[in-house]
Chains A and B, each alone.
Chain A
C-alpha cells in the first residue's frame, strides 16, 4: 500500500480537538514542516504531547492551534523559555498536564500495549499527583507498597521526522543518537504521520534492516520533506539554526512581531522550497550542514 502523500493530505488526517504526539526536544528533531502545516490549515483545540517541547510548542501556542499540553517540560534550552507558550498558559488559553518522564512513559506505554494503566514510583511526594485525574495512588497487590497508577494515553496521531522511508511506510534513521520520543510515541498513537528527508526504494532499506525503526504496517502517511526538521537539528544531516532561534526568541516577546514572523515563515511559504528560501536559502542550509 502506497502511503506517500502531500503534506496537505497528511495533515488533513488530523481533526480539530485531537491529540498530537510530537517528536521533539528543546532544539532537536522536530517535524517542523508538519507543525507549520497544522498552523496553515488552522487546526484548533488540539492537544499536544511532548516529552520536552521546543519552538514547535511556542508556534502552536502563538497560532492558537493547541489548547492543552501533556508533557514533562517546554524549553529551548540555551535559547531560553518558550514565551508564547508561557503567555498562553498564564492567560488560561493552554492547559498543562505536567508529568514526570516516567509518568509520561507509563501513560504512553499503557496506551501502546492496550493496558488501562501502568504504574511508576516516580512523582511520589510531589504536588503533581493530586491535581491530575489521570494519576492515582494504588497499592501493589503483592506487597502493599504504594505506586502511582498512570492512565493509558492514546494520542490520535504521532508526528515523526526521519532520515528515510519507503512508500510502504517503513522508516529508517541513521546510526546517530536516538531521538527520545521515537521509542514510544508512534507505538502509542492511533495514526502515525512521518516526514522523511528522502523517500527511497524498499530495496535500500533491506540493506540495513537494523536501522529501520518503524514498520510500514504501523505508519499511515509518508511525506518527503528535505530539511523537514529545520530550524531544529537533525543529525548527522544538519544542526539547529542558531540565528533563527535567536530571531524567534526576540520576536516571541511581542505578539505583533510574533504574528509577522508566522506570516513570513509559516503562512506565506507555499512549499518547503519557499520556506527554505525564506529562511536563507542554499547559503543558510550549507552553514547548517557543515
Chain B
C-alpha cells in the first residue's frame, strides 16, 4: 500500500517539479511582458513540433546522456568528476582525427573512431584518478585544471594538424554516425545513430554497477574505503578505474559531436557546456542510469526546444535561460514536493 504510493510519489515528484518550474517561468514571462502561452507552445513545438524538431532534440539529448553517465558513474564511486568537459573535448578531437586521417571500411573505421574518442577521454581522466589514488590529491581541482588544458591543447593540435587553420578536416563517410535514412525520416535533421550507442552505454553502466563484481567493489569503495580494504578490495585500482570509465563515457560524448553532429572540429573560444550540464543531468537522475536518461531528456529538450522561443514567440534568449534554470532548480528541490505529497497521501491513508 505505502510502497505503491511511494512509487507513485517517485514518479510524480519530477513531473510536478518541472510543472512548477514552468509555472514560475511563466510568471517571469508575464512580468517582463511576454505571452507565456505563446512561449510554451513555441517550446513544445521546438521539441516535438515536427519530425525535424524531434530529430534534433534527440540529437541534442545524445551527448547529455553520455556526459550524465560520466558524472554519475564517478559519483557512484564517491568521485566528483567535474572534468567531463575536458574529457569530452579531447574525445571529440581524437574521434575526428581517426575519422579523418584513415581510410578504412565502415565496419572498422566507425568503431575505431568511436573507440578513439572513448580512449582519449579515459586517458584524460586517468591522470586525476592516478593523482587521487596515489597522492590523495582532490580530483575536483585537478579535473578543473585538465578542462582548460584540454581546451588549449586541442586548439593547438587543430592548428598544427590543419597547418595553421581553424578547423580539422571533415571525417570520412566511413566514420560518420549520420545516415541518409535518419535524415530522411526526420526531414534533414542531424539525428545520428549515436543515440543508440548512448542508450547502450546506459545499459552498460547499469550492468556494470548492478550486475558485476567490479560494480559491487566500486560502490563499496565509494561508501567506505576502510571496510572495502578490509574486504580485500584495491582502493587505488578502483578509484582509477572509476575515473577511467567515467572519462570514457565523456570521451564518447565528444565522439558523438565529432562523428555525428559536426563531422569535424573547430578551434574553440570556450567550453561546450555539455560537461557542466552533465553534472546536473547526473544528479537530477540521482546518479542512476535510468535517472540519467530522465535528466538528459529534460536538459536536451529544454535546451534545443528553447531555440524556438525567440524564433516563434519573440521571447528573448535571456528569459528562456531563466526559465530553464528555474526548471532545474525546482527539480533539484524535489524533496519539498516529496514532503508535500507524502503528507497528502498520509492524510488519505488516515481516512
Q: Do A and B actually bind?
A: no
List residues of B whose CB falls within 8 A of some A CB: none
List residues of A whose CB falls within 8 A of some B CB: none
